[in-house]
Amino acid sequence: MRNFKSLCVVVLPMAMMFIMSTTAFAAEESNSSTDYYSIVNSPEWSEMSRVERVAACQLSAEELQSLTTDELVRVVLDYPFFVDAQAFNTEREGFLRVLQESTALQELLNREDKADALMSRYAAIDIEASKVNGDDDFSDLWKLEILLAQPEISDLMDEQQIAETVDIAEETYEDESSDPELYQGGTGVFFQVVNAVESLLMRMISIF
């Protein structure tokens, strides 16, 4: 396993140059919305204020509780306003804003198996396939990396889970970096967030 501290030194400057694969507002992309967010494709959407749009994208308690944790992860990743997580000075600030506004994310944090579900989705992403198929996996990557580095998730992970997440993050970064023209040098978001979340950084240092 590579020394993640050295990787962070390399990744952080490049991460600051990261440009999202699409600059269009996420809520306007029909292929990134689940059925729960079909409102974004309706004529009413363009007439709504932001407050009204956020309210229209909330799921009821009954809907949330009916979802498996894996399904809930999908709903969280497709939340039209998740893009706001990158609109603040730090991803931590952005995460807290999304958490404040998303009932789906609030429900996910209440699930005991949330870390396993997020890691499973993270590990399942195939960068090479996403380039060929043009799917939403690349968009999911930075969202998952932000989530996995948050103390609400990482503080509940054991050493093996942290080690597995770091391995995936390193492999993912290498895959992204293999095509710098397409991915602007890779995201490296996980390591960027880790350096801003002291509790996870110290745990990782103790492990490696």
Confidence of residue 158 (pLDDT cuts 50, 70, 90): confident
Task: Tell me the average pLDDT across 39-49.
Answer: 95
Task: Tell me the average pLDDT across 43-48.
Answer: 95
Domain count, the chain: 1
Confidence of residue 160 (pLDDT cuts 50, 70, 90): confident
Q: Which domain holds residue 119?
A: 4-207
Task: Tell me the average pLDDT across 8-21.
Answer: 43
- Stronger pLDDT, 207 or 140, i.e. the higher one: 140
Task: Tell me the average pLDDT across 20-48.
Answer: 65
pLDDT beyond 70 at 202: no
Counting Cα atoms < 13 Å in the Cβ hemisphere of 76 gives 31
- Stronger pLDDT, 27 or 74, i.e. the higher one: 74
pLDDT beyond 90 at 13: no
Measure the CA–CA gap between 201 and 178, rounded to whole angstroms.
26
Check if the beta carbon of residue 54 is closer than 8 Å to that of residue 82. no
Q: Tell me which amino acid residue 159 is.
A: E
- Stronger pLDDT, 86 or 107, i.e. the higher one: 107
DSSP codes, 99-143? HHH-HHHHHHHT-TTHHHHHHHHHHH--HHHHHHHT-SHHHHHHH
Task: Tell me the average pLDDT across 196-208.
Answer: 58
